[in-house]
Structure 1
Amino acid sequence: MKFRCERDAFLKALRITSRASGTKGGLQLILSGVRMALTGDELILTATDRELTITMSLIVAGDTDGEAVVTARLISDVVGSLDPGAVNVKVEDGKICIDSDRSNFTLQTMDSKNFPEITVIDSNPVVLETEKFMEALRKVIKASSADESRAVLNGVLLSPETQGLRMVTTDSYRLALCDLPGLELLNSDQNVLIPARSLQEVIRLFDNDQHISLRFTGGEASFDIGTVRVITQLIEGDFPSYKGLIPTHQPNRLVINRENLINAIRRVRLMAQDSTPIRLDMSSAGLELSAITQDVGEAREQLDATFEGEDLTVAFNPEYLLDGAEVTQGEEIVLKTIDSLKPAVIQTLDSEEFLYLLMPIRIN
């Protein structure tokens, strides 16, 4: 294999695909590599850890077709160290040679025969309403769990609703739900659970002027974004039954300026150390945020707000509360509560298409 390309384009492709490479040694060492396959002037780079695969196509000045697998992190570091300009790449005798100006590197390659076969998903693609889909995805993904012991909580549930598509995530302490009316993506009896990690890559790769095509087949899904394809294994298992957790009636209602609330949470949480919650005291006088950590200090802040209901004090994890305020859109948002122990809901003031449900923390 032999080709010539620009350093910046090559480095971008390496960094994008390398995010799917694995880190295990031993028999899984091949998963730490990126496969480069050249046909004519098209170079296809692929990395996978078997659960997530990222491929990217790059146009180069091809000389000799072929393929090679080289450690993803190492080649990315090497190419990144080069000065901008043309890079010459040649593979022979089990080694890859990279030349640029006066710099020359020779790296060992791995046997490409051991690299996993990548599934070609050839089902008909669905071209997404990209802006709405990505906006909904950004809203819900923070509520997914990073605890790998409960795999079904590591994903984003996509399910069909009467009016369109619904996205749901939960880590058992909070839940985010977003409806997309009019987006018919799934069959009426089809639910899919896509790993949040894979969707984070889709978010990272997305550019506002791009279309995204989505395909499903068997236990996999793929997203095409420009010249990049993200392929992910779907999560097997039953997503928790969540509909019964969403309160149907919450008599207490706090309406507040979103930016003011976000800034106040950021300030007060400085004193919410060692798992200390933030307390919200709600009354007709408005809202007071407070956090007290023994032997550290305390913070209090008064905010103007409109409150309807019985005076109430409720406490939340400060990071979870901040996430909820940040992903809920609108100049003003509403916090709905029942009492200090039952789930609270954060929503946009004039829309019910998105909700962020948050469990309170018991306080003395």
Structure 2
Amino acid sequence: MKFRCERDDLVEALGTAGRAVANRGGALPVLSGVRLELEGDTLRLTGSDLDLTISVTTTVAGESNGVAVVPAKIASDVVRSLDSGRVEIVVEDDEAQITSGRFASSIRLLPADEFPRLASPAENAVTLDAGDLSSALSQVVPAASSDDARPILTGVLMAAEGNGLRLVATDSYRLAVRDLEGSAVLDEGQTVLVPSRALRELVRALGDGEVTLRLGEREATFEVGSTRVTTRLIEGEFPNYRGLIPSTYPNRMVVSREALGDAVRRVRLMAREATPVRLTMSAEGLELDAVTQDIGQARESVDATFDGTELTVGFNPDYLLDGIEVAPGEEITLETTDANKPAVLRSVDRGDFLYLLMPVRI
């Protein structure tokens, strides 16, 4: 195999494919590498840990076709260290020779025949607006759990809802729900559970235009331009999230999203060692405060409209801020029942996003 390409293009392609490379102990040694496959002037780079696979193509000046697996980290580090310009890679026997200007290096290859044969994407495909999907995922994915001991909660539920698609994620402390109207991806009653890790990588690849989704029995593949992200689906029953969302709330506060976010950022500076930020809501408006023993306290008032019975609720400031930052619109509502039951944050102007947050006892 022999080809020439621009250093910047190769750095980007190696970085994209390399994000799926296996880093955990016990994985097949060959999965620590990126598979290169050259056919004509098209170079395909693939990284995989068997659960997540990222494949990207880039145009090169190819001289001879071939397949090789290069150690991901060292290959990426070497190419990134080069000056911008032309890079030549020649694969002979068990080495990849990299030259650029006066620089020359050789890297020992991993056995290409040991790289797992990956399943082909499903044939049935649907297209989604990439911008809309990116926005929805940015709102929902942060609410998924990162605790692998509870794999069900590390996924994002995709479910048919009306004539569109619903995305749901929870880590048991907060819940995010976003509807994409008119995106009929699934059949009525159908659901799939997609690992949040794969969706975070997908968000990095999304831009304008369209994304193609191919759903198989056990895998989902997203195709965006020259990048393909394939992930195994999570098996199991997602929690009954609908039962967590009360149908009515006796207390409702309307507040500027920007003003509330800024106040939380300032007050949480004193919320150390799991100290909650307390929100006191009344007819006079909203007051936030946090007190951490031996450190100090902070308090700030924010203009707000409140209907209901005066109450004080404590929240994890980071979780609260996550919801505020991704809610659309200039004004948001915070609906509460009492200090010990879930609160719901929504946009005043749009009904396609909901963020439920469990309070912290104070």
Which band: TM-score by shorter chain? over 0.9
Whether contact under 8 Å (1:175, 1:358) holds in the other structure is yes
Matched, 1:71 2:61: no
What is the CA-CA distance between 1:19 and the residue it aligns to?
0.3
Task: State the match for 1:308 in structure 2.
Answer: 307
Pair 252,329 (structure 1): closer, same or farther in 2 beyond 3 Å: same
Report the secondary structure of 2:76's partner residue. Answer: helix
CA deviations on 1:223-276 (whole Å, 9 max, x unpaired) are 111001000000110000111110111011110000010111000000000000
- Name the aligned partner's letter for residue 183 of structure 1: S
The residue that corresponds to 1:127 in the other structure is 127
Aligned to 1:327: 326
Partner in structure 2 of residue 286 of structure 1: 285
TM-score of the superposed pair, with normalisation by structure 2: 0.98
- Deviation of 1:26 after TM superposition, in Å, equals 5.9
Quick one: which amino acid aligns to residue 318 of structure 1?
Answer: P
CA distance in 2, matches of 1:147, 1:299: 32
Q: 2:349: which partner in 1?
A: 350
* Residue aligning to 1:158: 158
Report the alpha carbon displacement of residue 25 of structure 1 after superposing the two structures with TM. 5.1
User: Which deviates further from its counterpart, 151-160 or 130-139?
Assistant: 130-139
Aligned residue for 2:113?
113
Checking the alignment, whether the CA contact within 8 Å between 1:23 and 1:29 is kept in structure 2 is: no
The verdict on how the C-alpha distance between 1:302 and 1:25 changes in structure 2, with shifts beyond 3 A counting, is: closer
Structure 1 spans left out of the alignment, 5+ residues: none
Matches of 2:47 and 2:350, distance apart in 1: 41
Letter in 2 for 1:356: Y
Structure 2: how far apart are the matches of 1:27 and 1:350?
Answer: 48
Corresponding residue SS for 1:128: strand
Per-residue deviation, residues 35-74 of structure 1 (Å, max 9, x unmatched): 1011111111000000000011111111111111111011
CA–CA distance in 2 between the matches of 1:299 and 1:212?
45
Aligned residues of 2:328 and 2:350 also touching (Cα < 8 A): no
Secondary structure at the counterpart of residue 159 of structure 1? strand
Q: Which residue of 2 aligns with 1:54?
A: 54
Cα gap change, 1:112 to 1:290, in 2 (>3 Å): same
Aligned residue in 1 for 2:10? 10
Residue in structure 2 matched with residue 318 of structure 1 by the alignment: 317
Structure 2 gaps of 5+ residues are none
How far apart in 2 are the matches of 1:23 and 1:164?
A: 37
Instruction: Give secondary structure in 1 for the equivalent of 2:361.
Output: coil
Q: Give the whole-Å Cα distance in 2 for the aligned partners of 1:191 and 1:318.
A: 32
Please give the per-residue CA displacement for 1:164-200, whole angstroms capped at 9, x wherever unaligned: 2111100001101112222211011310000011000
Mean CA deviation greater in 334-343 or 155-164: 155-164
SS of aligned partner of 1:319 = helix
Measured after TM superposition, the shift of residue 27 of structure 1 is 5.9
CA contact (8 A) 2:270 2:298 kept: yes
SS at match of 1:79: helix
Which amino acid counterpart does residue 102 of structure 1 have in structure 2? R
Is 1:98 equivalent to 2:77 in the alignment? no
User: Within 5 A, what are the aligned runs for 1:178-189?
Assistant: 178-189=178-189
Distance 1:285 1:26 in 2: 59
Cα distance, 1:359 vs structure 2? 0.5
Q: 1:26 to 1:97 in 2, by over 3 A?
A: farther
The residue aligned with 1:241 is: 240
Query: Offset of 1:161 from its aligned partner?
Result: 1.5
Which residue in the other structure is 1:263 paired with? 262
Cα distance between partner residues in 1 of 2:48 and 2:89:
22
Q: Determine the C-alpha separation between the residues in 2 that align with 1:329 and 1:26.
A: 43
The offset of 1:141, in angstroms, is 1.0
Computed over aligned residues only, the root mean square deviation of the Cα atoms, in angstroms, reads 1.0
Closer, same or farther: CA 4–266 of 1 in aligned 2, 3 Å: same
293-302 vs 136-145, which moves further: 136-145
Q: Work out the CA distance in 1 between the residues paired with 2:25 and 2:356.
A: 41
Question: Structure 1 residue 130: deviation in Å?
Answer: 2.5
SS at match of 1:22: coil
Report the equivalent of 2:88.
88
SS at 1:132's partner residue? helix
Task: Please give the residue correspondences for 1:142-153 in structure 2 after superposition, counting only pairs within 5 Å.
Answer: 142-153=142-153
State whether residues 24 and 31 of structure 1, in contact with CA within 8 Å, keep that contact through their aligned partners in structure 2. no
Larger displacement relative to structure 2 (22-31 or 72-81)? 22-31
Distance in structure 2 (CA, Å) of the matches to 1:188 and 1:42:
40
Count of aligned positions: 362
Deviations 1:4-42 (A, max 9, x none): 111111111001100000124566211110010111111
The two structures have a TM-score, normalised by structure 1, of 0.98
- The 1-side partners of 2:49 and 2:328 are apart by 36
Letter in 2 for 1:326: E
Secondary structure at the aligned position of 2:246 is classed as: coil
Contact 1:95 1:107 in 2 (8 A): yes
State the AA in 1 paired with 2:217. G
Q: Which residue of 2 aligns with 1:216?
A: 215
For the 8 Å contact 2:329–2:350, the answer to whether it is kept is: no
CA contact (8 A) 2:131 2:207 kept: no
